[in-house]
Structure 1
């Protein structure tokens, strides 16, 4: 499942964002504008398409899928009609929005209410975890990543975006933003379990991944990095 960058047209991407956002109109203005804003301003989604990190025939698991904006974007992309996606999230309203947005592709997309620390991961080719793991403690992070490793096919990959705790003021700004987001959602969280980039890479390598780090904060004040982790060997029995 090698990834190769493709010719990327920003105006074409924006048209796809517009179509993806329209899928959420049945859920109200909030989900509609959230999708437009998220896909339009967060560089990770354009990167996933531009760099072909998700093959067209992939079985995708999206942990912490939210309202399903990744699935909506893939549905409007040129990846073809062979990929499938199964998403998990703790928020019932988000899962409902995802199901409504993707009802025309219900045969290929499933969205389930579930805790990523506990759900059973199906066999897959790609696991996507974007801006989620710092909400759970370090032991739980290691457990989720090890389970993702086990669920992935031999040539599978994990796409993990993290905040780099060694990122200086950008890291602080990222945390402040996360606190504001949790307050807005009514799920205020006093603590986040962050790690420096080097520790994230070390953890993934200890599990058995080969890791490539791709800066993912262009045009934003955040300390975000996309880790592309490919299976390298049998999983280590003990990580933390």
Structure 2
């Protein structure tokens, strides 16, 4: 993505949430950043507040991805994005304006649980500081995973075309090799089965290449998800993404976290 284009105005978190902010937990992330945690946002936020959140996400995600995200959020709001989340987090800078967001779902199945990391990002000026990884360790691999049924596997999952997000998620798992797909190793059977369940929940089972953990046309509502495709500088990892994914394709990332 480019950081030289004129950035849209970013909204204040207090204005987005209104009176709902009073019942939300606030975390100090360091570096002048704070996180407002909304557990079960579909129950906490009324329709007016949800509409303000969707409107706020457009300029923040447009800045983050370097592409107009208006169609993306129009589609996600129709799908009930906020209503289905287990937790939604807004990240604010020193001036209280929203600079990032993340959210996740907890999907229980017989014998295992999927924790699905949904849309996540930070504006360019706040990226690469390790804040999102620290936040996810606290909220996801800490609190969310601990609340999953004991004695059964838990898989951390996501859908992405970004090797940067792959690297972030790899850092959340017990070992780097736990995350699939991998450049030089096939995904084991339990991981492929987890991916099938996730694709079915996403409504994309019909376009899943299960052994490759690849969804073809995952972002068909957009011309492209990124204005400029991200890279990591890790030649093998960047090749995995750019060599196997088209502009609207995505990997389903799956890694056993417990």
User: TM-score higher than 0.5 here?
Assistant: no
Larger relative contact order (CA 8 Å, sep ≥ 6) = 2
> What TM-score comes out, normalization by structure 1 length?
0.34
